[in-house]
Chain A
Amino acid sequence: MMLFNSFFKIAKKRLPSLSIYFFIYVFISILLGTSSQKNIEANFQSKSLNICVIDEDNSKASAALTRYLGSIHNLKPLENNPDTLQDHLYYRDISYICTITKGFEEKLLSGESDEVYTCVKIPGSATGYFVDLQISQYTKLLTLFLSGGSSMPEAIEKTDPIISNTAGTESIVFQADTDAVRKEVFFHYQYLPYIFIVIFICGLAPLVITFHEKNIAARTNCSSTSLGSQNIQIVICCILYSLVVWLLFFLIGVFIYKTEMFHANALFAMLNSFAALLIAAALAFFISNFSINFNTANMISNILGLGLAFLCGVFVPQDMLSESVLKIARFLPSYWYIKANNMLGGLSSEAFSLSSFWKAFGIQLLFAAALVSAALALSRLNRQRKQ
């Protein structure tokens, strides 16, 4: 395990020149953590929303649903005009519009609960989904009692006490699940693609290059340590290096955000960061085929890291990037990382869905696989050229 030992001996000696990136990162992370503290308090108080209910049905059932929503939220009476409603939504006077369409009660009576109302909410608002849930629960309960043979007034009478008992508790559970995780946790992850690329290209790639340097490699290849054993040792070193870096940043997160790092969405973000880690490692593996020194690696890593960061919305929110930039960004792995992270942290207008998370995650894995294959092909080419 000679290569293995020396790999980390050399890594240790190069640590000081890398640690600067590390401290910059921790600094940014803490800075963000303190600057957006205000948001969090606002989020915590927003259990009760300003919403607007447009009742086009004017039936007993629609009145009951309106009454129920009014018991939780502030109902704002507004004119039923799409333009004005959009304006109110846009200026955040209201966060949610529920239109109970004509035929609501009839459809419920006939056992249908789909498409009986329409809703519009502020994009990406987690509490908006909570209202969705409340409405659908109410209508589902109503249809349940109706199908059990109750008349409409009876069903409403039975539904009201049940829903008001559960609603309160459920709302707490639901709120704890998303809003208790501060957005900063996701900011912590947001900058990782950049920092990973820098750490891997400046740290890992020059290390591998040191061992592949022409003269050192010649001497190593003359020895009785087989080529296979050499490669395995280097690969193990790279994997360990990656895991240590990954763990380190997770631990920094735990240090700053404590248990929030273990919430469901935060764990998904951690998984997402693993994909970013693989891509950075694959990129370093690819670059290690070129015999560059630390300074060149430094330059490449900054160009690549910053370039990807800007194009893919690490520093500027993706929502604010132009369509043409986004078109290019779609062909870059960091775009998918940020997209997934935004989704998880509610940092963009896109709602979280498991399927689109796995899609983004899978695309990143494909990028990593493609990079590794390209690197392997390149190293084979290099070896042939040397002879």
Chain B
Amino acid sequence: MNIPAVKVENLVKRYRELVALDHFNLQIEDGEIFGLLGPNGSGKTTTINCILSLLTYDKGSIEVFGKEMHPDSYDLKRQIGVVLQNVAVFDELTVCENIDYFCGLYIRDKAKRKQYVNEAIDFVELGDFRKFYPKKLSGGLLRRLNIACGIAHKPKLIFLDEPTVAVDPQSRNKILEGIQELNRQGATIIYTSHYMEEVEQLCTRIAIMDKGKNLAIGTKEELKQLIKKKEIVSIEILSIPEEDLTAIRELPHVYEVRFQNHQLQVLLNGGKHNLIRILNYLQSKELSFGRVYSEMPTLNDVFLEITGKELRD
């Protein structure tokens, strides 16, 4: 049995009356890209900060690589890289000097550090901006610098807390590709975000959290299995009589039918040939229709069903 990279048990964290983490559990295996998905204020940052011993907590235990994590667990900290939610760089130091500083907190050897810094700069593709000061970088480049500062020392375990907030799509893709590359090179990644598309695209396993609780955990397929909705068919129709809607609701696997804005939505809980069956029915009633879509559920649907509210803010 492999030792998990991170193991959090029954973590409780209070900010005065507010319970930010409520008996939170989490286990992250070596080699994963683990996604922590939840809306703003759900406790993602608090979780990360507790694991990193930046915050004290009220109850529970945290283990990293099988050892209990403390503020002075410097041998564990040596193997960890962090990219926190807020950009943390020195305005007075250049791109190169900033990466060198943060890398130097882990690596004393100058020659080795120089090599690592150069590799990190190449990795985030900031080669043309070595001598730039952070103030002169665009939002996306600044985020990339922030990431380079966190990973230059080649950590085995990397925490990234919403690294793509306020980033242009091009930089965002670069960042996501970079994270996958780090994972291929052997690092375990813990990634938090409130963008479900990102998490869906990137992560091998996902935990959905809200109000300090871990609501569901698994691969995206497993998560989608958890909910009733397995398929959603949308059809453009000018108008449809009420009795036809009732008839469609009686078709196999259909559990809900909505009609609004000339759009018919049929929610199904599994089965095959659902689309054909619905279209056949419409044709038999000689109802003309326009465009047709069939969609699989998203993590947003998972979140919606579990919590009863939208993930998007």
**Is the beta-carbon distance between A219 and B93 smaller than 8 angstroms?**
no
For residue B253, CB closer than 8 A to chain A, the reply is: no
Please measure, in the bound complex, the distance between the C-alpha atom of A225 and the C-alpha atom of B107, giving whole angstroms. 9
Most A-side CB within 10 Å, residue of B56, B72, B86, B101: B101
Task: Write the chain B residue with the least CB distance to A222.
Answer: B82
**Is the beta-carbon distance between B88 and A226 smaller than 8 angstroms?**
no
The smallest beta-carbon distance between B13 and chain A, in angstroms, is 10
Please measure, in the bound complex, the distance between the C-alpha atom of A221 and the C-alpha atom of B106, giving whole angstroms. 11
In chain B, residues 25-58, which have Cβ atoms closer than 8 Å to a Cβ of chain A?
49, 52-56
For residue A247, CB closer than 8 A to chain B, the reply is: no
Please name all residues of chain A whose beta carbon is closer than 8 Å to the beta carbon of B72 when the two chains form the complex.
Answer: 226-227
**Is the beta-carbon distance between B92 and A9 smaller than 8 angstroms?**
yes
**Is the beta-carbon distance between B54 and A221 smaller than 8 angstroms?**
yes
In chain A, residues 183-224, which have Cβ atoms closer than 8 Å to a Cβ of chain B?
210, 213-216, 218-224
**Is the beta-carbon distance between A220 and B54 smaller than 8 angstroms?**
no
**Which residue of A219, A221, A224 contacts B150 across the interface (Cβ within 8 Å)?**
A219
What interface size band does chain A fall in? 20 to 34
**Is the beta-carbon distance between B90 and A216 smaller than 8 angstroms?**
yes
Task: Write the chain B residue with the least CB distance to A12.
Answer: B92
Please name all residues of chain A whose beta carbon is closer than 8 Å to the beta carbon of B88 when the two chains form the complex.
Answer: 213, 215-216, 218-219
Please measure, in the bound complex, the distance between the C-alpha atom of A198 and the C-alpha atom of B89, giving whole angstroms. 26
Most A-side CB within 10 Å, residue of B49, B52, B74, B105: B105
Please measure, in the bound complex, the distance between the C-alpha atom of A14 and the C-alpha atom of B90, giving whole angstroms. 12
Please measure, in the bound complex, the distance between the C-alpha atom of A220 and the C-alpha atom of B104, giving whole angstroms. 10
Please name all residues of chain B whose beta carbon is closer than 8 Å to the beta carbon of A382 when the two chains form the complex.
Answer: none
**Is the beta-carbon distance between A220 and B86 smaller than 8 angstroms?**
no
Please measure, in the bound complex, the distance between the C-alpha atom of A349 and the C-alpha atom of B82, giving whole angstroms. 64
**Is the beta-carbon distance between B97 and A215 smaller than 8 angstroms?**
no
**Is the beta-carbon distance between B90 and A224 smaller than 8 angstroms?**
no
The smallest beta-carbon distance between A337 and chain B, in angstroms, is 33
Task: Write the chain B residue with the least CB distance to A14.
Answer: B92
The smallest beta-carbon distance between B281 and chain A, in angstroms, is 59
For residue B95, CB closer than 8 A to chain A, the reply is: no
Per-position binary interface string of chain B over residues 62-101, scored 1 when its CB falls under 8 Å from any chain A CB and 0 otherwise: 0000000001101101101010101111101100010001
**Is the beta-carbon distance between B106 and A224 smaller than 8 angstroms?**
yes
**Is the beta-carbon distance between B106 and A219 smaller than 8 angstroms?**
no
**Is the beta-carbon distance between B101 and A6 smaller than 8 angstroms?**
yes
For residue A376, CB closer than 8 A to chain B, the reply is: no
**Is the beta-carbon distance between A219 and B84 smaller than 8 angstroms?**
yes
Please measure, in the bound complex, the distance between the C-alpha atom of A365 and the C-alpha atom of B54, giving whole angstroms. 36
Extra contacts besides A10-B93, A216-B89, A225-B105 (14): CB < 8 Å:
A2-B105, A6-B93, A9-B97, A10-B90, A218-B54, A219-B88, A221-B54, A222-B52, A222-B77, A223-B77, A223-B105, A223-B106, A225-B106, A387-B55
B-binding residues in A (CB < 8 A): 2, 5-6, 9-10, 13-14, 210, 213-216, 218-227, 387
29 A/B residue pairs, CB under 8 Å, sorted by A: A2-B105, A6-B101, A9-B93, A9-B97, A13-B92, A210-B90, A214-B86, A215-B87, A215-B88, A216-B88, A218-B49, A218-B54, A218-B84, A219-B82, A219-B88, A221-B53, A221-B71, A222-B54, A222-B80, A223-B77, A223-B102, A223-B106, A224-B77, A224-B78, A225-B74, A225-B106, A226-B72, A226-B74, A387-B55
